[in-house]
Structure 1
Amino acid sequence: MNRSKIQEYIDKREAQRESIYHAVVQDQTHFTLNGHRYELVANYRDGFDADAFADRFSMVLAKYDYIVGDWGYNQLRLRGFYAAQRSHVNGERKINNLEDYLFEACNFGCPYFVVHNLAVKEPRQHHHHHSRRRNKRKRGNAAIKTRVDKLTQPPVAQRHHQEVKTVRHGRHRRFLMRQRQSKGAEK
């Protein structure tokens, strides 16, 4: 693909996206994006632009409590963060690590903004996945049952009916467990 075709494709995609998301500014700090409410909580170096935010927005970001936008080389980058009190999220994706993100991932001194999502849309749980797992458990999975049986056996030192040997294959070792033969079977 040559540059003109690539630019033509980019322009076409931008024209399609313009009709998807519309930002309506209500006051200095509040706006809606397709009826979804947001609040501007930080605007460093006037980094916030409602139209640019709408152009770059994706529905994936609706699940985050905060959305951070930073500018580099005239491009807006958006990244979602969760509230600090969320327990199911690892530390780097929480808003209290914003300074680390700005220092490590953004251009030094770049304009940025932080938007608070006032109506977080939690992702739907796909019930068919859960029911498939549940059905698999009901049918029984021999590999899983065998693994569970192995885990519930007593420690090797307490197993009087088994013997353990180390078998070498070149540099590799493996352990071999066998049933001990009873004394009556040896004769």
Structure 2
Amino acid sequence: MKITINNKTYEVIKNEKDAIDEEVLKEAITEYFENFDFIVGDWAYGKLRLKGFNDKSNKNFKPINDIKNVDNYIKKYCAYGCRYFILKVIEKN
């Protein structure tokens, strides 16, 4: 599945428990996320939280944002059983 938000097209890698709300995402995805290859979003206490991740090939790569650690991030920092999603940037318009 693909979605377009703020002139960027994303591939939906995971949409656990139907977590994606495109209207909320349009407000939440800001310029801060421009340099990330992936965006992970999770819902906690009715609020959407976002975190950016990168592939090692990204010039802005930092180990803390390595996409290979996304499962660990979800287990460690997201509420157990929460709704969450993973988006991958596939096209910047």
> Alignment length, in residue pairs?
93
User: C-alpha offsets along residues 104-137 of structure 1, whole Å, 9 cap, x if unaligned?
Assistant: 11111111000111136xxxxxxxxxxxxxxxxx
Larger Rg: 1
What is the TM-score normalised by the length of structure 2? Answer: 0.87
Q: 2:86 aligns with which of 90, 97, 114?
A: 114
User: C-alpha offsets along residues 147-170 of structure 1, whole Å, 9 cap, x if unaligned?
Assistant: xxxxxxxxxxxxxxxxxxxxxxxx
- Report percent identity of matched pairs: 29
- 2:74 aligns with 102
1:63 and 2:63 matched? no
Structure 2: state its 5+ residue gaps: none
Structure with the higher fraction of residues in strand conformation = 2
Structure with the higher fraction of residues in helix conformation = 1
Q: 2:44 aligns with which of 65, 68, 72?
A: 72
Which aligned runs of 4 or more in structure 1 are off by greater than 3 angstroms? 84-88
Q: Is 1:84–1:96's contact at 8 Å kept on the other side of the alignment? A: no
Alpha-carbon RMSD across the aligned residues, in angstroms, is 1.9
- Rounded to whole Å, the distance in 1 between the matches of 2:63 and 2:89 is 19
- 1:43 aligns with 15
